[in-house]
Amino acid sequence: FVYFKDDEQHNILNVASGIKSFGILQMLLSGDFIKARTLVVLDEPEVHLHPNWQLKYAEIITLLVQNNRNILVTTHSPYMVEALERYAEKYKIEEKTHFYLAKEEVIKSKNNNKTLSEIASKLSEPFSVFDEMDAEKL
């Protein structure tokens, strides 16, 4: 596999993992492997991506859904969750977009479309450590 940037050829083994994730998605799309009846599972697509790239990846996912592709995303990234929500609103596909929060004590998960703040809160819990550190300085 080869990656092209500015008309230069790069071996895929020598590019960053984030670039590879975009490249794989591009190959799936250009090869017409993602069809309307296909379910694409993206497990933590934010891994190895700069937050700005996470936003771009979320937009691509949203555009795929807008074009009747079935995408399932699992994530631990508050950036990804918020980006998916905002792009769903921008591209007017809220009815095709569903958010679920898996809870350890529950075997079944429920549709949490109306509780995105709960999802964001759970994903943002690690940031409370910084708040505690700031409070200790005072």
In a domain, residue 50? The reply is yes
| pLDDT of the residue at 30 | 84
Domain encompassing residue 83? 34-97
In a domain, residue 62? The reply is yes
By mean pLDDT, which of 66-80, 107-121, 122-136 is the weakest? 107-121
Q: Is the pLDDT of residue 114 over 60?
A: no
In a domain, residue 86? The reply is yes
In a domain, residue 128? The reply is no
User: pTM to 2 decimals?
Assistant: 0.71
In a domain, residue 123? The reply is no
Crossing angle between the packed helical segments 17-30 and 51-66, to the nearest 10 degrees: 10
Mean pLDDT of 109-138: 73
Q: pLDDT tens digits, residue range 54-104? A: 999 999 999 999 999 999 999 988 889 999 999 999 999 999 999 988 777
Give me the number of domains the chain comprises. Answer: 1
The alpha carbon torsion through 86, 68, 3, 49 (nearest 10 deg) reads 30
What is the distance between the alpha carbons of residues 133 and 101, in angstroms, rounded to a whole number? 28
Mean pLDDT of 107-111: 56
In a domain, residue 19? The reply is no
User: DSSP labels for 14-81?
Assistant: GS-HHHHHHHHHHHHHHTT---TT-EEEEESTTTT--HHHHHHHHHHHHHHHHTT-EEEEE---HHHH
Q: Is the pLDDT of residue 12 over 90?
A: no
Q: pLDDT tens digits, residue range 24-43? A: 888 888 888 888 889 999 99
In a domain, residue 2? The reply is no
In a domain, residue 5? The reply is no
Contacts of 38 (CB under 8 A, 6+ apart): 69, 70
